[in-house]
Structure 1
Amino acid sequence: MVELSDLDRSLLRALAAKARGERRAPVRLGLKAEPFWGALLAAGNRELASSFFQPGDSEDAIKKMFAKVPEGTAEFFTLYLTLEPRAGFERLPPVTESVRRLGVKRVVLGSLDPAHRFRGEGKAALEGHGIEVSIADGEEARECQSIVDDYAKSMVRGVAQLSARVKVAELQNGEYDLDISQEALPAGAHPTDAVIRRTGRMADSRGGWMVVLDADGWERPSDRTILYQPEDRAVAGARRLSFEGGRPNLAALLRDLAGLGIYSAELSNDGELFRQALTAGLVDTVIAEFPNAEDPAQAAARVTRVRVASGAPLDLRLEGARFLDTENRRLEARVELN
């Protein structure tokens, strides 16, 4: 297997960054689980075409490229994929067959399939067609794997991945305060399929909770897609949001979301529910901002004990931190309970 060049790594990182901005919530619910992935065709350092597969699409990302590539020229190009292509018939024909028809002679994979029963099959099928296959490692592999983390979790555990945006401040006693944020992230910084949120004007009632598919449409009531709402206030077509102890039953909700083909959700603007989710081990990642830290990565590494809303401190760590912006102020980290 040929090792990746610096150019390969650069193009793969560019594809992963573009993929995070292209991901959308599924347009059809209840379909068989499918991962989101992206493809980029390049000649040297020149990007010729890119496309993305959204769960529920009628064709794969490679077929979307056919019209963009002059016939008979692809053999001189390199195809970059964030995810290993499937080699078998499922809802759509094999993606490996689309790659063969495209005509490339070299493919760079950002990550292998997270589903164990499919892992390695796509790579072997491509090599069987005489295509040279290289697999990313290091930071490039991590970037591509992060795109399908929520899909992989839903396959293994049957629940959607839960994240939250927080501002982190160090307290005088060495503990850290985690304040769940209401601020919007830059487009594509950390895409999620759904947002769990309560509205300010109904903050003291169960009626204030909603689960929406379009976070950007939250302030545009006519545009937003409401997926769950309390039964007594539900709009037409909204599912019933179940409650436990006066707050949404997150464990049940995350299972339901995964069953609908929604693999990720973001919890917003409720510190007490965030605390409950942390205690129950339901929070997978946080998007953390350290406003007063000179080095956010070092600050994240020092976090071992936190305060969230009211109640006793929680013992947890922020692992695998990676920056999400060029200013290195906002990072994503995995939550691990001590």
Structure 2
Amino acid sequence: MDNQALMRRALRLARRAEGEVGHYPLVGALVVKAGRVAGQGYFQLPGEPHAEVKAIAAAGTKARGATLVLNLEPCCHWGRTPPCTDTVIRAGIRRVVAGMTDPNPKVAGNGFRRLRQAGLEVVTPVLEPECRRLNEVFVKFITTRLPFVVLKVGATLDGKIATRAGESRWITGAAARREVHRLRAKADAVMVGAATVMRDDPELTARLGKKVRHPRPVVVDEALRISPRSRFLRPCPRKGKPIVATTRRAGPKRIRAFAAAGAEVLVLPQDRQGRVDVRAMMRALGEREIASVLLEGGAELNASMVAAGLVDKVIVFVAPKLLGGWKSRPMIGGQGPARLRKALPLSGLSARRVGEDLMLTAYVGARLAVPLPKKA
């Protein structure tokens, strides 16, 4: 197999840990000797050996003189585990084929430099766009300490997310809703506004079976109008503590009631409209090592997040229906720009059928992820 074929295999390995690694990268590794895979491994849980260490251990003595293929530059610093570059060198690996440079400032090409200094051949990048996209969450978080935000919308063909009375169940079909639960299972947090909670009282879980990891619920409510008995506050195995983002407008009594109900209450600054300052909210989520957020907001919360430049990716499930009407709810609220040149450009558009609906995916602006450091 050539380098690209081997890298695709490493990427498939890495994807096995989707939804499990949090703010850490997804990494798969292969040890290849005489054209055959002698060992493989992927990073599975924080604190465990890294993918390349697992692959080398699986290969045993066959690692000497072999090629190591992995989608991310090996680390060269002490963290929860020792530097992987030391393990690679000690194992007698002759050649390293890596998908991309690690954007972590503690690595950022230094891993490649260490390997070359030890006499190893380093080939990079290989399938870099695919490698970057796989780790888009990690790249954003490690360089900005802000979560990677995916705006998810279910809409009619004319862009409506609810009727004028607020009815939205169900615009999309069962297959699209199952896909949403898969998206939730991959995210660290799922975010909605107060209106969604008051209207639907959602659990905000990923209903895919008992073993699935649930996202941490985040509800944005500047005045705590929602009930402290809301279903998203109920304890659930493999679900983090719910977060309620509010402001001082809520008052100490309401804040205490939600804390007593099991929520972590974030009392945040207000924006000019008296709502939660979403930039401050995202910084607070980043401080809690929440690296990815699935935004399932209504029109106003979506508008606030887009206007603040906090949305990285957009996924729209389009149903073959028309609602029409000036008062039907749009995907994004607010007045909107007066000029087309002020429209927010999207890139990397892709589409696929999900049941009767169409799933559209695109990235905000020209970014697939934040810029990486210069290659080593």
Q: Measured at CA, do residues 319 and 272 of structure 1 come closer, stay the same or move farther in structure 2, by a change above 3 Å?
A: same
RMSD of aligned alpha carbons: 4.3
Q: Measured at CA, do residues 166 and 12 of structure 1 come closer, stay the same or move farther in structure 2, by a change above 3 Å?
A: farther
The Cα of 1:76 is off from its aligned counterpart by 5.6
Alignment of 1:289-300 (within 5 A): 289-290=317-318
Matching residue's letter, 2:67: T
1:86 to 64, 75, 78: 75
Alignment of 1:162-201 (within 5 A): 162-167=149-154, 171=158, 183-185=177-179, 187=182, 191-197=186-192
DSSP-derived class of the 2:345 partner = strand
Q: Measured at CA, do residues 269 and 34 of structure 1 come closer, stay the same or move farther in structure 2, by a change above 3 Å?
A: closer
Q: Measured at CA, do residues 256 and 87 of structure 1 come closer, stay the same or move farther in structure 2, by a change above 3 Å?
A: same
Structure 2 unaligned runs (5+)?
163-167, 207-212, 218-230, 246-254, 321-329, 338-342, 367-376
Structure 1 unaligned runs (5+)?
1-5, 28-32, 293-306
Cα distance in structure 2, aligned partners of 1:325 and 1:134: 37
Which segment drifts farther, 257-266 or 184-193? 184-193
- Are residue 101 (structure 1) and residue 130 (structure 2) matched? no
Cα distance in structure 2, aligned partners of 1:105 and 1:326: 45
Which segment drifts farther, 37-46 or 250-259? 37-46
DSSP-derived class of the 1:321 partner = strand
Is contact 2:147-2:282 (8 Å) kept?
Answer: yes
The Cα of 1:257 is off from its aligned counterpart by 2.0
DSSP-derived class of the 1:39 partner = strand
Cα distance in structure 2, aligned partners of 1:266 and 1:203: 19
DSSP-derived class of the 1:275 partner = helix
Is contact 1:82-1:144 (8 Å) kept?
Answer: yes
Matching residue's letter, 1:332: T
The Cα of 1:95 is off from its aligned counterpart by 1.3
- Provide the residue aligned with 2:139 in structure 1: 152
Q: Measured at CA, do residues 188 and 195 of structure 1 come closer, stay the same or move farther in structure 2, by a change above 3 Å?
A: closer
Select the structure that is richer in strand. Answer: 1
Is contact 1:77-1:106 (8 Å) kept?
Answer: yes
- Are residue 320 (structure 1) and residue 348 (structure 2) matched? yes
Aligned residues: 306
Q: Measured at CA, do residues 82 and 247 of structure 1 come closer, stay the same or move farther in structure 2, by a change above 3 Å?
A: farther
- Provide the residue aligned with 1:300 in structure 2: none
Structure whose alpha-carbon radius of gyration is higher: 2
Cα distance in structure 2, aligned partners of 1:118 and 1:192: 25
Alignment of 1:2-81 (within 5 A): 7-25=2-20, 35-42=25-32, 44=35, 46=37, 48-52=39-43, 54=45, 56-69=46-59, 71-75=60-64, 77-81=66-70
The Cα of 1:109 is off from its aligned counterpart by 0.8
1:239 to 240, 244, 264: 264
Is contact 2:71-2:100 (8 Å) kept?
Answer: yes
The Cα of 1:210 is off from its aligned counterpart by 7.6
The Cα of 1:255 is off from its aligned counterpart by 0.8
2:286 to 258, 261, 270: 258
Cα distance in structure 2, aligned partners of 1:40 and 1:73: 12
DSSP-derived class of the 2:102 partner = coil
Matching residue's letter, 1:142: P
Alignment of 1:282-293 (within 5 A): 282-290=310-318
DSSP-derived class of the 1:165 partner = strand
Q: Measured at CA, do residues 325 and 144 of structure 1 come closer, stay the same or move farther in structure 2, by a change above 3 Å?
A: farther
Is contact 2:157-2:319 (8 Å) kept?
Answer: no
Cα distance in structure 2, aligned partners of 1:193 and 1:285: 15
Q: Measured at CA, do residues 330 and 134 of structure 1 come closer, stay the same or move farther in structure 2, by a change above 3 Å?
A: farther
1:139-181 alpha-carbon deviations (Å, 9 max, x no partner): x21121123333333344332121122346664xxxx667898
Is contact 1:163-1:267 (8 Å) kept?
Answer: yes
1:222 to 205, 220, 236: 236
Is contact 2:95-2:120 (8 Å) kept?
Answer: yes
Q: What is the TM-score when the length of structure 2 is the normalising length?
A: 0.65
Aligned-pair identity in percent equals 25
Q: What is the TM-score when the length of structure 1 is the normalising length?
A: 0.71
Q: Measured at CA, do residues 41 and 196 of structure 1 come closer, stay the same or move farther in structure 2, by a change above 3 Å?
A: farther
Is contact 1:72-1:103 (8 Å) kept?
Answer: no
The Cα of 1:91 is off from its aligned counterpart by 4.2
- Are residue 308 (structure 1) and residue 331 (structure 2) matched? yes
